[in-house]
Structure 1
Amino acid sequence: DSILNQTLKDIEILCIDANSTDGTLEVLKNYEKKDKRLRVIISDKKSYGYQMNLGIKEAKGEYLGIVESDDYIKTNMYERLYEIAKKNDCEVVKGDFYIFAYGKTEYVNVLRNSCEDIYNYKVNWNKDIRIFLGSDGINPIGIYRLDLLRTNQIKLNETPGASYQDNGLWFQIFALAKSIYFINEAFYMLRRDNPNSSVKSKEKVYCACEEYDFIRDFLKKHPDLEKTLAPICALHR
């Protein structure tokens, strides 16, 4: 509902479902009948990366945003982020967010104290490497120009399940985007009390290692980036 009720009305809503059996698919299909902006896409693989890549492939808009199934957003999020993107001619706009868990809510700055001066400026890693070192940008919160993703063939790692694939997406976008804008406002509510979340499972640490191998392979394809950014990848690993 938080997406359907966005103040920015001219949007396309893609719901990617991996043949869920808990009634979710039926709910989505009912929404699809009621709102022509919404389209349900069935994924034949239970892979977060594969499903997101389907969304990137099928999207028809100018910018792409991601809202995960456990989370929700403020109703003015996309209007505000799109306004900033157009005003500043930015490929990426990211905001702060809230973490909610067990009845408590915490405000999180996407930029840490050491680099808060980057807020409200158009940057990239060449201008300020701190976007890799001092930001909590790994989460999918924000909007991304679709042309940036497609021209650079930015895709998520299609490993099974939903385990850290957003790490590779974040790294590729930050490495290749020429214009990133951080806004000191929070719109996204990120759930952290799901017992099935990858951050709750010790076994998922191996998935994290696979994801950084994916990033390393990406850097090998971009030798112009590898010398500077390989140490950043190793540091995050």
Structure 2
Amino acid sequence: MTLNSPLISVIIPIYNAERYLDQCLGSVEEQIYRNLEIICLNDGSTDGSLGIMQEHATQDDRIRIIDKQNQGYGASCNRGLKEAQGDYVSIVEPDDWIEPSMYKDMLAFADQLDAPIDIIKTAYWRIVDADTPHQRKLNCSYKGRIRPLKQPFTIKDASHLLCHHPSIWSAIYRREFLELRGIRFKEIPGAGWADNPFLVETLCQTDRIAYLDNAYYCYREETPEKARAFAQRNTLLPIERWNDMMDILERLRVTDAAILRAHNSRGFTYLSGIIKEVDLSHAEVRKATKRMFERMDADLVFADPEISPGCKRMFADLRGIPCPRIRTMAYARGLIAQGIYSIKNTGVSNTLFTTGVYLKNRKKRTGGR
């Protein structure tokens, strides 16, 4: 590491994470790349999280603890951004961990390109059935799919990144870029999916994105039971965040069809998760869905071969517009291609399992259409 090695500010927003925090902090401290400041934001934890932070801070002087009242994920990340002094900013969630060469490899990759790079993005690991005898480490759903024609690139050349989990933590961001663009998190109570708007704010405001198709970040996925309980408690939250993202696209005057199609896809994905748990006949769900559909370009929806025929019929019904003839063969070919990709990406057994879940809930996910 040279005297000019950039400083990375690692922001860790922490709320009641004592079960996982030692592993998380240890993985950051053990990074091969050493020029880090580690900002731990204790967001009013009521468990032993603060004590774990303090214990680590006595052993590593790169750790700085900010003990604050509970304000939620977005506000904590914003405080971290305000305190950060680094050339780059990284966000690590306290129930996850990162592999030792993450920052070293990201910076080495960026050094091969024309500087400065505003966002260095990578793939990530999905940790399924975490902390059980059945724990599995799977590739994320965009691994191998991001192939921009050149590096660095703009998001319209790799819009597929906008279809998936926001995974804002599988990237580092040039702090000056965030400051110049005035990019901050939406301050929503609790976790609130504040990562959704941040994804669009960052990826849609630069033409200097670099992508490294290696995975380093280990993301603990929620159990199906926790995901179900969240959906029932926060039924409309995904659509609210979709609207926030659409607000940003409109504010930035984004008109690129690939980006808008990707955002439409996210909307249908979120809606499918909602009506799997809460029927579309529910008045508030129906009202929110209709409003979301009204913000989508109908021509883009009907022309998209990756949106299912059932979803297109649902879209037309709620919009009160005629549904054009649907070319089912294009959708079927897409499903086959997705199956082949999934087998290569996550293996046969996982593909068979996810296909079974998809088929079981297919009608419910499209409102019975």
Partner of 1:161: 190
Q: Which has the higher helix share?
A: 2
Equivalent position amino acid for 1:9 in 2: R
Equivalent position amino acid for 1:6 in 2: Q
2:162·2:263 contact (CA, 8 Å) conserved in 1? no
Q: Larger RCO: Structure 1 or Structure 2 (Cα < 8 Å, ≥ 6 residues apart)?
A: 1
Deviation at 1:81, TM superposition (A): 0.9
Partner of 2:202: 173
- CA change 1:110–1:41 in 2 (3 A) is farther
Equivalent position amino acid for 2:136 in 1: T
1:122·1:179 contact (CA, 8 Å) conserved in 2? yes
Equivalent position amino acid for 1:32 in 2: A
SS of the equivalent of 2:127 reads strand
SS of the equivalent of 2:235 reads helix
Partner of 1:74: 99
2:122 counterpart (95, 109, 133):
95
Deviation at 1:58, TM superposition (A): 1.0
2:211 counterpart (182, 193, 197):
182
Partner of 1:48: 73
Deviation at 1:193, TM superposition (A): 4.1
Equivalent position amino acid for 1:40 in 2: I
User: What CA distance in whole angstroms lies between the structure 2 residues aligned with 1:119 and 1:232?
Assistant: 18
Q: Taking structure 1 as the reference length, what is the TM-score of the superposition?
A: 0.86
* 1:121-147 Cα deviation digits (max 9, x unpaired): 3221244444434x6554421211111
User: What CA distance in whole angstroms lies between the structure 2 residues aligned with 1:42 and 1:230?
Assistant: 40
2:180 counterpart (148, 151, 154):
151
Q: Which has the higher strand share?
A: 1
User: What CA distance in whole angstroms lies between the structure 2 residues aligned with 1:127 and 1:173?
Assistant: 15
2:166·2:196 contact (CA, 8 Å) conserved in 1? no
* 1:162-207 Cα deviation digits (max 9, x unpaired): 1321111111111112111221211111101468966751123322
- CA change 1:194–1:67 in 2 (3 A) is farther
Q: Do residues 17 (structure 1) and 42 (structure 2) align?
A: yes
Partner of 2:136: 105
Deviation at 1:213, TM superposition (A): 2.6
Equivalent position amino acid for 2:243 in 1: D
Deviation at 1:226, TM superposition (A): 5.5
1:110·1:137 contact (CA, 8 Å) conserved in 2? no
SS of the equivalent of 2:94 reads coil
- CA change 1:211–1:3 in 2 (3 A) is same
Partner of 2:7: none
- CA change 1:67–1:123 in 2 (3 A) is same
SS of the equivalent of 1:118 reads coil
Percent identity of equivalent pairs: 22
Q: Taking structure 2 as the reference length, what is the TM-score of the superposition?
A: 0.57
SS of the equivalent of 2:123 reads strand
1:140·1:166 contact (CA, 8 Å) conserved in 2? no
Equivalent position amino acid for 1:205 in 2: T
1:124·1:131 contact (CA, 8 Å) conserved in 2? no
- CA change 1:217–1:82 in 2 (3 A) is same
Q: Do residues 26 (structure 1) and 51 (structure 2) align?
A: yes
Equivalent position amino acid for 2:135 in 1: K
Structure 1 unaligned blocks of 5 or more:
none
User: What CA distance in whole angstroms lies between the structure 2 residues aligned with 1:27 and 1:219?
Assistant: 40
2:166·2:195 contact (CA, 8 Å) conserved in 1? no
- CA change 1:99–1:227 in 2 (3 A) is closer
1:98·1:186 contact (CA, 8 Å) conserved in 2? yes
SS of the equivalent of 1:123 reads coil
SS of the equivalent of 1:170 reads helix
User: What CA distance in whole angstroms lies between the structure 2 residues aligned with 1:109 and 1:39?
Assistant: 31
User: What CA distance in whole angstroms lies between the structure 1 residues aligned with 2:98 and 2:210?
Assistant: 19
Q: Do residues 215 (structure 1) and 242 (structure 2) align?
A: no
Deviation at 1:227, TM superposition (A): 6.9
Structure 2 unaligned blocks of 5 or more:
1-25, 268-369
- CA change 1:37–1:199 in 2 (3 A) is farther
Equivalent position amino acid for 2:118 in 1: E
* 1:38-81 Cα deviation digits (max 9, x unpaired): 11112323311111111111111011111101100111111111
